[in-house]
Amino acid sequence: MRRREFLGLIAPSVLVMGGLLVLPLYRTVEWSLQRVNYGEAGTFVGLDNYSAALSDPRLGRAVLFTVGLTAVVVATLIVGGYLLAVMVNGLGRSKPFVLGFLLISYVVPNIVGATMFSWLFDANFGGVVNHLVSTLTGHEVLWFIDPWPNRLVIALDTIWFMLPFSMLVIIAGLQGVPAEVIEASRIDGASTFRTHWSVIIPSIRGVLGFVAIISIMDVLRTFDQLVPLSPQATQIGNESIMLYIYNVAFQDGGQQLGLGSAINVLLILLIVILLYPFIRGIAKEARQA
Amino acid sequence: MPQPRTTVVRALATTISAALLLTACGAGSRTSSSTAAQVDCDFPAPSKATSVNVLAYNSSAIDPFTNTMVKSCSKNQVTVKHEPIDFAGQVQKTTATLAGDTGTYDVVETYGFIIPKYAGEQKLRPLDEYVAEFDQEYGLSDINKAMRQAMSYDGKLYGLPMQAQMYVMAYRKDVFESLGLKPPTTFAELRDVAGKIQQAGQIKYPVALPLLASSDIATAYDSALGSLGVDYVDATTMTPNFDKPEAAKAFDELRSLAPFMDPQVTTFDQPRVQQQMYNGSAAVAIMFSGRMNDLTQASNSKFSQQFGFAPPPSVAGGDVLYNTLSVDGWSIPTNAAADPKMLFEMIASSVSADASKASVPAAYPARDGIVTPGSSPYAEAAQVSIGKAPPAEPHPWTSRISNDTRTVVADVVLGNTPVAEGTAQMQQIAAKILAEYKK
């Protein structure tokens, strides 16, 4: 390939990445060191924003909640996505219809889906799940103001929303596992569980790593579903990092853009730390291939 | 078997058709025009095609004025555009559009609470010269003087009033009559009435208030404090009043209603309180008047004919009610690109006598004489309520103190923070904000 062709082909990507990724990242880091109001040049304040962010107990609670939610949801997405993928992969002619049906929750806008999901637990709007739980247990569960029931609702909604993605990617991985390898394991007398655990799962480790990476990034950025699902998130310790950033930087016309940027930089660092083992594993696998 | 190329062409055609169909659905005004009146909007045609962007949140009380402007002033090469948005979105976009030398919006919906802040920062254009010029044409002298005052700062008018909202109490007449109860006039009576309804066993949580911890709770606390005769700040000495006994009493009184409200009330905004009334899970609600017309619609609730309306109670007796008077109006940003005179004619036409009449009963227009006791089932209650609201605090620090103390208010109402500790925190937050204005 000629140099000019190469440059012509990569130039659009470089421009888009520069405009949408590098420039905002640079501006975020720059603002994190400034006091910034809309429409005005920032004033350099050194590490004051980082100091303010790290001394706010709300940030600690937000990190704890977000990381906990990420751990539970990602683990469920991988296990649940795998089981669902195996079941759907085994279907015959009905597979496209079942797949299409299962993908509905993924294509519904997150905020709309979360609002509808909240109604399942809200007595004001019928609250089918709330009614069932109250009838079965004899207790009125306060889904929106008690921290743990609310965390359960948030986790269930996030899993409901993201499970189809996980399932879809894992199905693609399953279809790449050679049939003769599975057949050989059965001839060797491996049980179904053993075949999955020792043959199929190691074969699609890269795919599972990919699902983990994307899911971790998505759940760490949990934001819009908390608006309908946790209206009292700040008071009950269910404020995600993104919601905390929004509340600090923008709510009610607030203008703490410098502080918001500093928390954003800290969030980026957190994402990098949590993704490092997965990225390292995938890179290692790619080198071996 | 179809060729791959044919399939691609078909898919492309389907996609383009669907996109065209969807965009056609959204063409023209993006808000419902069912509440729009056709009024005179007689500005001279500009020399070139012009777009006027209007920022106004959607509610049944604001929509009639916005829709009238869009419908009546889109002419003479001018297109008036309004995108649907909620109140929180409007608040954010107002901050952003007023920030720089150029803004996205030419007309913004404002309210008395934020006028001092933005007017003090010279972000809004004074309207007095235009009022004088177009008074005759649009009958602007008939706009209520007190409401003009509420949209003024430092003696100048920065927002042309369109309508006012004040708290009104809605109650279930059938429930009250069956138990021989009268609408409460104080919080003590409200507790008494609510207790009797609870004892009757029909309704478990009879009282419904919008106390959403991330929003409405600050207004509720301000209303309670105002009813006790105390402002956030003593404006003459510029010292916060959260160390006064009334600041603690306001919390105690709000918390005293907790046994009669849904345990999850701090997650309820006004639409959710409406929903409680619609489905019969509450018997008394106190909300802004703009929400009352919805209660009277048979399509919303089987109890629509059973709702009675009264002024809200006072917290501890006396003439000042548990209330907040909010005047809404139109402002022209200093950085608006379009001709300000033309923009003023647009906003003046949208609050003209005809437009104001058409907005009743959904709204309480700012013009004198439009709302009469017979205008709507809640008009009489609204008229009493507006005359007994706590005075406004037209200062640039008011909205900042309200915003920055809201989390503390929520923590105290929820019982996470003791009252004394909460008021001390609020005193500290407010003092810090006021220090900026003392410089």
Separation CA B420–CA B196 (nearest Å)? 31
Token readout for B72 is 């009546």
B118 is written with which tokens? 């933005």
CB atoms under 10 Å from CB of A97, counted, come to 10
In a domain, residue B12? The reply is: no
Nearest CA in chain A to B95: A253
- Domain count across chain B: 2
Whether residue B309 sits in one domain with residue B235 = yes
Q: CA of B218: which chain A residue's CA is closest?
A: A252
CB-nearest partner of B275 from A40, A124, A253 = A124
A126 touches chain B (CB under 8 A): no
Cβ atoms of B331 and B110 closer than 8 Å: yes
Residues B127 and B190 both lie in one domain: no
| Same domain (yes/no): B190, B285 | yes
In this predicted structure, the answer to whether residue B14 has a pLDDT above a threshold of 70 is: no
Question: Which of B121, B214, B261, B273 should one mutate to test binding to chain A, selecting the residue with the greatest count of A CBs within 10 A?
Answer: B214
Please tell me whether residues B181 and B303 are part of one structural domain: yes
Identify the pLDDT of residue B413.
94
pLDDT digits (tens, 9 = 90+) for A130-186: 999 999 998 889 999 999 999 999 999 999 999 999 999 999 999 999 999 999 999
* B38, burial (CB in 10 Å: exposed 0-12, middle 13-18, buried 19+): exposed
> How wide is the angle at C-alpha A137 spanned by C-alphas A136 and A141, nearest 5°?
115
Measured between CA atoms, the residue of chain B closest to residue A248 is: B404
B281 and chain A: CB distance < 8 Å anywhere? yes
Question: Same structural domain for residues B292 and B423?
Answer: yes
Q: How many helices, marked H, and strands, marked E, lie in chain A?
A: 17, 2
**Residues B178 and B153 occupy one common structural domain:** no
Q: Which of A144, A145, A231 sits opposite B214 (nearest CB)?
A: A231
Subunit contact B414:A254, Cβ cutoff 8 A: no
In this predicted structure, the answer to whether residue B393 has a pLDDT above a threshold of 70 is yes
d(CA B412, CA B408): 6
B247 in the same domain as B183: yes
Provide the token pair at A179: 């049939």
Q: Are B361 and B126 in contact (CB under 8 A)?
A: no
B219 shares a domain with B70: no
In A, minimum Cα distance to B409 occurs at A235
Q: Is A16 exposed, middle or buried (0-12, 13-18, 19+ CB in 10 A)?
A: exposed
Measure Cα distances from B196 to A30, B168, B189, B279, B306 in Å: 61, 22, 11, 20, 19
Percent of chain B at pLDDT > 90 equals 75
A253 part of contact set with chain B, CB < 8 Å: yes
Average pLDDT over residues B322-351: 95
Average pLDDT over residues A43-51: 93
User: What pLDDT sits at residue B321?
Assistant: 96
Residue B35: pLDDT band (50, 70, 90) is: low
* pLDDT for residue B116: 93
Residues A40, B276: C-beta atoms closer than 8 Å: no
Q: Which amino acid is at A158?
A: T
Q: B10 or B374, which is more confident?
A: B374
Confidence of residue B214 (pLDDT cuts 50, 70, 90): confident
Chain B residues close to A145, C-beta within 8 Å:
263-264, 266-267
Q: Averaging pLDDT over each range in A259-273, B302-316, B358-372, B399-413, which range is the top one?
A: B302-316
For residues B212-223, give the mean pLDDT. Answer: 93
| Nearest chain A alpha carbon to B274 | A124
The answer to whether residue B115 neighbours chain A at the CB level (below 8 Å) is: no
Tell me what the pLDDT averaged over chain B comes to: 90
Would you call B124 helix, strand, or coil by DSSP? strand
On whether ipTM exceeds 0.90, the answer is no
Per the domain annotation, does B172 fall within a domain? yes
Cβ distance of B88 and A124 shorter than 8 Å: no
Cα A111 to the center of its chain, rounded Å: 14
| Chain A residue closest in CA terms to B94 | A253
Closest Cβ opposite residue B92 in set A125, A233, A250: A250
Q: Is B264 on the interface with A (CB under 8 A)?
A: yes
Please tell me the predicted confidence (pLDDT) of residue A157: 96
Tell me if B10 is assigned to some domain.
no
The distance from CA B299 to its chain's CA centroid, rounded to whole angstroms, is 23
Q: Between A and B, how many residue pairs show a Cβ–Cβ distance under 8 A?
A: 68
Q: Report, as an integer, the average pLDDT of B172-181.
A: 97
Within a domain: B26: no
Angle between helices A23-31 and A257-288 (to 10 degrees): 130
CB-based contacts of B175, cutoff 8 Å, min separation 6: B181, B197, B202, B203, B206, B283, B306
Residue A133 phi, psi (nearest 5): -65, -45
- Mean pLDDT, range B201-216, rounded to an integer: 93
Q: What is the distance between the alpha carbons of residues B65 and B61, in angstroms, rounded to a whole number? A: 8
The predicted pLDDT at position B30 comes to 43
Please answer whether residues B322 and B313 qualify as being in contact, where contact means their C-beta atoms are separated by less than 8 angstroms.
yes
SS3 B316: coil
Within B76-114, residue ranges assigned H as helices are 87-97
Q: For residue B85, is it left (φ>0), alpha (ψ between -120 and 50) or beta?
A: beta
Which of chain B's residues have a Cβ under 8 Å away from the Cβ of A232?
213-214, 266-267, 410, 414
Instruction: Judge whether B135 lies within some domain.
Output: yes
Mean pLDDT of B422-438: 94
B410 and A251 within 8 Å at the Cβ level: the answer is no
Query: In A, residues 187-226, which contact B (CB 8 Å cutoff)?
Result: none
Task: For residues B314 and B174, state if they share a domain.
Answer: yes
Confidence check: pLDDT of B396 > 80: yes
Asked if A255 and B95 come within 8 Å (Cβ–Cβ), the reply is yes
Q: Which residues constitute the domain of residue B337?
A: 50-164+328-370
With contact defined as beta carbons under 8 Å apart, do B130 and B341 qualify?
yes
Query: Taking a contact as any Cβ pair under 8 Å apart, which residues of chain B between 138 and 167 contact chain A?
Result: none
Q: Confidence band (pLDDT; 50, 70, 90) for B190? A: very high
Q: Does A57 touch chain B (CB under 8 A)?
A: no
Q: For residue B414, give the nearest of A231, A235, A250 by CB distance.
A: A235
Average pLDDT over residues B258-269: 94
List the alpha helices (DSSP H) in A46-109.
Answer: 48-54, 57-89, 95-102, 104-107
Contact status of B94 with chain A (Cβ, < 8 Å): yes
User: Do both B196 and B256 map to the same domain?
Assistant: yes
Q: Are residues B171 and B283 in the same domain?
A: yes
pLDDT tens digit sequence for A88-136? 998 888 888 988 888 888 889 999 999 999 999 998 888 899 999 999 9
CA gap A65, A132 in Å, rounded: 27
Distance CA(B277)–CA(B312), nearest Å, equals 16
| Angstrom distances, CA of residue A48 to CA of A35, A243, B436 | 9, 21, 19
Percent of chain A with pLDDT over 70: 98
Judge contact between A77 and A211, C-beta under 8 A. yes
The domain boundary, picked from B312, B340, B370, lies at: B370
**Which domain CATH number covers B299?**
3.40.190.10
Q: Could you give phi then psi for residue B127, rounded to 5 degrees?
A: -110, 0
Q: Are residues B154 and B171 in the same domain?
A: no
Rounded-to-integer distance, Cα B165 and Cα B325, Å: 6
- B100 belongs to a structural domain: yes
Average pLDDT in the B223-227 region? Answer: 97
Q: Which residues pair with B307 in a beta bridge?
A: B172
Rounded CA gap, B339 and B325, in Å? 32
Distances (CA, A) of B61 to A148, B58, B361, B365: 39, 8, 9, 9
Contact A261, A28 (CB under 8 A): yes
Q: Is residue B179 part of a domain?
A: yes
Q: Do A235 and B266 touch (CB under 8 A)?
A: yes
Mean pLDDT, rounded, for B28-54: 79
Of A124, A235, A254, which is closest to B213 when you measure between CB atoms?
A: A235
Domain membership flag for residue B35: no
The token duo for A268 is: 């980026």
Contact yes or no for A230/A150 (Cβ under 8 A): yes
Burial code (b: 16+ CB inside 10 Å, e: under 16) for B104-115 equals bbbbbbbbbbbb
Q: Is the minimum CB–CB distance between A135 and chain B shorter than 8 Å?
A: no
Which of residues B423 and A21 earns the better pLDDT score? Answer: B423
The mean pLDDT value for B139-149 works out to 92
Question: What number is the average pLDDT over the span B218-223?
Answer: 96
Domains observed in chain A: 48-288 (1.10.3720.10)
R_g (Cα) of chain B, nearest Å:
24
Read off φ and ψ for residue A35, nearest 5 degrees: -95, 120
| pLDDT mean over B83-107 | 90
Q: Does the distance separating the beta carbons of B266 and A234 come in below 8 Å?
A: no
Q: Is the pLDDT of residue B23 over 50?
A: no
Whether residue B255 contacts residue B191, with contact meaning beta carbons closer than 8 Å, is answered with no
- With DSSP H G I counted as helix, E B as strand and the rest as coil, what are the percentages for chain A, rounded to 5? 75, 0, 20
In the predicted model, is pLDDT for residue A241 greater than 90?
A: yes
